[in-house]
Amino acid sequence: MRGKRCIPEPDQIPGGICECGCGRKTSIAKVSIPKRRNFLGHPLPYIHGHSSATAKRGTPEHHKYRGGSYVDNNGYKRVKDIGNPQADKDGFILEHRLVMSRYLGRAIEGSEIIHHRNGNRLDNRIENLEIMNRSTHRTLHAIKWVKDTVIEKFKEHYRSTGKLPNTFTGNITKGFPNHRTIKRIFGSLEQALIESGLKSP
């Protein structure tokens, strides 16, 4: 119970060094909170502000350790490449940037973005990667967002009416993108229907 002395099992007692991997000594617990492994009179498992989430990445102690690589909070894979000038302080670099860098035989500039063609951030095969500037990348993702939204509109129209939407004749529901928008995004109404899965190629 919080605040009361709790006698822990020997294997529950923290060793006195912050378990995040920073190597700093922890202080002594002033209250017992068993679920946090805080035991009155014994060392705390972490110093204030540190936790398993801040554990040194790429070490066996880290909760996302995968043997020299890990997936960061943005869903990208980082791999250890000690000596790489573009690696972080722990020696890790984004795998997709490393793959493209080795393919091109040069470092990737800070202004350059490596885009995943199929949208899978963990698919770092060179054939799935494309290098571009930030402006192009932003535009690409904006188009994809609009395209996905329009595709859902197509499917919604078909579900509610049982008919294929026809922006050319006006056979569409309220709030549906107009024909000019469809042509700008997909190139043609037919292509829009194909990408929506409502028509065979």
Indicate the helix (H) or strand (E) that contains 78. strand 77-80
Q: What pLDDT is attached to residue 3?
A: 46
Same domain, 73 and 129: yes
Task: Count structural domains, the chain.
Answer: 3
Average pLDDT score over residue span 123-149: 85
CB 71 within 8 A of CB 79: no
Provide the residue range defining the domain that includes 152: 136-195
Looking up tokens 């595709």 gives: 151
Q: Who wins on pLDDT, 23 or 77?
A: 77
Average pLDDT score over residue span 14-30: 79
Residue 47, in any domain of the structure: yes
Write down the mean pLDDT value for the chain.
80
Same domain, 124 and 150: no
Name the token pair of 123: 């698919």
Same domain, 26 and 81: no
What's the pLDDT tens digit per position in 172-186? 556 677 777 788 778
Q: Which of 117, 133, 149 is the last residue of a domain?
A: 133
Strand order of the sheet with strand 77-80?
69-71, 77-80, 92-94
Q: Whole-model pTM above 0.85?
A: no
Same domain, 190 and 143: yes
**83: Cβ–Cβ under 8 A, 6 or more apart, which residues?**
91
Same domain, 99 and 87: yes
The backbone torsions φ and ψ at residue 190, rounded to the nearest 5 degrees and listed phi first, read -60, -45
Same domain, 86 and 109: yes
Residue 201, in any domain of the structure: no
Residue 61, in any domain of the structure: no
Sign of CA dihedral 150, 153, 155, 161: negative
Same domain, 86 and 123: yes
